[in-house]
Amino acid sequence: PLAGSAGVTKVFTPTQEDYQKVYNEIAARLEEKDDYDDGSYGPVLVRLAWHASGTYDKETGTGGSNGATMRFAPEGGHGANAGLVSARDFLEPVKAKYPWISYSDLWILAGVCAIQEMQGPIISFRPGRADKDIAACTPDGRLPDASQGNKHLRDIFYRMGFNDQEIVALSGAHALGRCHTTRSGFEGPWTFSPTVVTNEYYKLLLSETWQWKKWNGPKQLEDKKTKSLMMLPTDMALVSDKSFKQYVDKYAKDEELFFKDFSAVVTKLFELGVPFAETTEKIIFKPTNV
Ligand code: ZEM
């Protein structure tokens, strides 16, 4: 080697403006690729960021968004992750254009971008996640099973370090998107506006009469009036359990409170187990649609 050439490999240190460029690229793709589901990849991007994060186990410090181990077959193939390949593929051109960002940061940044671009609250973002190899894949069964009830929800979310209020605030994400028979086996959206962040999920939980859907698929509920909306057994646990229901009542009445609590709890979810450097600053991305 040439004398003096060792150690001069150029390391690109991204600035907040560089991260905003990635944000803008994702926002532009969301706008452009509107021929998916209800007109937006936003919901499935939020689900990707949630499933990357929700494997966290506070006892062992394993799982969480640091690693992006869903890229590998064992974890990508878990039943809970069915369909998320469409979200990962949506982000590939962004990764190709900005190769300096890790998949782990990209997936979380995309979740933040999707929430903000779907008119949700501002979600602060800190970069610093590093991709791990296949050995860091988490075992199957860490994400919630929709066919279960309140005890299961507590087992799963307490393992990540959340309390009852936070479980209910996180569940408001089901204002977004839909179930697909080809993915989870369930079918249909939770709200009439599945590409906009609102507190409609809580309002509908309380205002509608929910009855079991008569079909050959897994047990789910439908609204008696239009039969076009759905709730999962785990969604109904939020109104049948008294400790959960007090927060459903609050968020149904007060969208501003929901936005504030949702922003805080989503940031906590997205940062579970991430070893940020002490100097890492919070980034507040500017939405493109205001
Ligand atoms: Zn969901 N979720 N989720 N969720 N979720 C689905 C879809 C979406 C549960 C669940 O089993 C399911 C959280 C919590 C919980 C989103 C975000 C968040 C689907 C449908 C199921 C079955 C998948 C399909 O068929 O495509 C359960 C049991 C949960 C426990 C409380 C949390 C927390 C979320 C984010 C903070 C989103 C955005 C979707 C819609 C995805 C899409 O493709 O439209």
Domains of the chain: 16-142 (1.10.520.10), 150-265 (1.10.420.10)
What is the interface pTM, i.e. ipTM, of the complex?
1.00
Sign of CA pseudo-dihedral 98, 100, 106, 109: negative
- H-assigned helices in the chain: 16-32, 42-53, 73-76, 85-97, 103-117, 150-160, 164-171, 200-207, 233-240, 242-253, 255-270
pLDDT in tens, 115-167: 999 999 999 999 999 999 999 999 999 999 999 999 999 999 999 999 999 99
Expressed in angstroms and rounded, the spacing between residue 174 Cα and the centre of ligand 1 is 6
Does 4 score more than 60 pLDDT?
no
Expressed in angstroms and rounded, the spacing between residue 48 Cα and the centre of ligand 1 is 9
DSSP for residue 4: T
Does 2 score more than 60 pLDDT?
no
- Ligand 1: nearest atom to the Cα of 170: 33
Choosing from 51, 78, 174, 210, which is the catalytic residue?
51
Q: Does residue 190 have an active-site annotation?
A: yes
Does 1 score more than 80 pLDDT?
no
Does 3 score more than 70 pLDDT?
no
pLDDT in tens, 12-57: 899 999 999 999 999 999 999 999 999 999 999 999 999 999 999 9
Q: Which residues contact 82 (CB under 8 A, 6 or more apart)?
A: 182, 183, 184
Partnered with residue 210 across adjacent β-strands are 223
* Sole residue written with tokens 């009036």: 225
- Cβ of 32: how many Cβ atoms within 10 Å? 9
C-alpha distances (whole Å) from 235 to each of 162, 163, 217 are 17, 16, 17
Model pTM? Answer: 0.97
What pLDDT is attached to residue 289?
79
Residue nearest to atom 30 of ligand 1 (CA): 144
